[in-house]
Amino acid sequence: MKQMKTPLVVLNFKTYTESTGKNAVRIAGMCADVSNETGISIIAVPQLSDLRAVAEIGIPVFAQHIDGISPGSHTGSVLAEAASDSGAIGTLINHSERRLTLADIDSAIQAADRAGLATIVCSNNIATTKAAAALEPDFVAIEPPELIGSGIPVSTADPGIVSGAANAVSGINPDVQVLCGAGISKGEDMQAALKLGTVGVLLASGIIRAPDPGDALRDLVSGI
């Protein structure tokens, strides 16, 4: 994936009732509206069963997970090519709610590359961020798990881990871009993340579970 020229918002729909089925399509429409209004790049990350319907809205869509497998006898696994055929242009790998071993992360990145999918590898500290960057994904997203869903943004709770991750990744592979996640929900959170050396944010509940996700997205990008 090319280096981002505008800030990036990656919205993980998870599997909330508010963001599945028809609700996934509704929120995807809000993402498209805000992106068109502001020029900010927004990627939707719905659950696997909603990939095709969300992709038909016309916004960039990532899968929440793929497995590092080739086509064959892998019942219950997620094939990279299947995600691509359903409309995904990329995938999350190693989210804190879907942890993988380093070997599995490497296999998943290779599977994604084979299928032409961009990759965001999630990490929880600077050491794992460095290890992930060495595997050459498109993005690494630093997300301390204790702050996920807390409403406490990592960009203010622990800014050193964000700037440290950005510096560490730059030293290993400057082509890998860094995102900031965990507790992000407001405009000042995103501004802080960008100032710390990231190209954008990965977030979920602060937008998905807001009374009006469209308004919450507008607030998120209001200061950019």
Exposed / middle / buried, residue 72 (Cβ in 10 Å: 0-12, 13-18, 19+): exposed
Is the dihedral angle over the CA atoms 79, 80, 84, 88 positive or is it negative? Answer: positive
Known catalytic residues are: 95, 143
Confidence of residue 1 (pLDDT cuts 50, 70, 90): low
Tens of pLDDT, residues 108-147: 999 999 999 999 999 988 899 999 999 999 999 998 767 6
> Which domains, and CATH codes, for the chain?
8-68+76-220 (3.20.20.70)
pTM for this entry: 0.94
Confidence grade of residue 106 (pLDDT, cut at 50, 70, 90):
very high
> What are the residues whose beta carbons fall under 8 Å from the beta carbon of 4, sequence distance 6 or more?
41, 177, 199, 200
What percent of the chain shows pLDDT beyond 70? 92
**Residue 9: pLDDT over 80:** yes
Q: Which residues contact 143 (CB under 8 A, 6 or more apart)?
A: 95, 96, 122, 123, 124, 154, 180, 181, 182, 202
Query: pLDDT tens, 162-214?
Result: 888 899 999 999 999 999 887 777 888 888 889 889 999 999 999 999 999 99
